[in-house]
Amino acid sequence: MVFSLEAWPEAGHECDFALSPPHLTDILNERESQVEIPKILTSMRGHVKLGLVGRGLKIKGFFAVKVELLCDRCLTPFVSRINDEFDDRVNLTEPSQTDDRGQGNGHNQDDDAAVPIRADNSFDLAPLMAEFFWLAWPYKSLCRPDCAGLCPKCGANLNDGPCFCQNEQPTKH
């Protein structure tokens, strides 16, 4: 998702995009070394509209991607679609203003995200799309809305039916 700033059209750029699972995983691994990366099942596909605003970039669009998640209640893997719309402004920064991960060095006047300009006067939006992916990540992942979870006593998956320990009577001493 590399765009050149040379001869930028006055109307901006508008295009569909797709980031393959390996490419998206590589970007996420570079940026989020402390977080377990989910299994990405499909390309991250979407549409983006870009416009220059001073030394910034106005970006608007949407994306969707299928991933394998782990249910927070029953720990069962399941497939989910993560999709979102975005409408944001990001700063275009010279390479000397960013660290090795493409993040601003804190000298920006506002807290907008930073997209580094390369030596050839181009920029790559793929890392920003990965950031939008994380921002759309569900706070709580459930395999289904009525997930019963695990038995706190024996750990059985209650979606499969009642467990045996629920039928046990406490012994009297």
Q: Encode pLDDT of 91-137 as tens digits.
A: 988 865 444 444 443 333 444 578 899 889 899 999 999 999 989 98
Question: In this structure, what DSSP letter does residue 97 have?
Answer: G
Q: Let me know the angle formed at the C-alpha of 90 by 47 and 96, rounded to the nearest 5 degrees.
A: 125
Angle at 42 between CA 45 and CA 16, to 5 degrees: 15
97, 66 contact by CB (below 8 A): no
Please identify which residue in the block is written with the tokens 């209650």.
158
Give the closest residue to 95 by CA, choosing from 114, 78, 81.
114
pLDDT value at 21 more than 90: yes
pLDDT at 46 over 90: yes
Question: Would you tell me the crossing angle of helices 21-31 and 126-135 to the nearest 10 degrees?
Answer: 80
Instruction: Give the pLDDT of residue 125.
Output: 93
First to last CA, the chain: 70
Question: What CA–CA distance (Å, rounded) separates 68 from 66?
Answer: 7
Domain locations in the chain as residue ranges: 2-142, 147-173
Q: Is residue 37 helix, strand or coil?
A: coil
Between CA 75 and CA 140 the distance in angstroms is 12
Nearby residues of 93 by Cβ (< 8 Å), 6 or more positions away: 104, 108, 114, 115, 116, 117
What is the overall mean pLDDT for the chain?
Answer: 84
Q: Which residue has the higher pLDDT, 8 or 96?
A: 8
* 42-46, 107-111, 162-166: which is most confident: 42-46
CA 44 to chain CA centroid, nearest Å: 10
pLDDT of residue 95: 67
pTM over 0.85: no
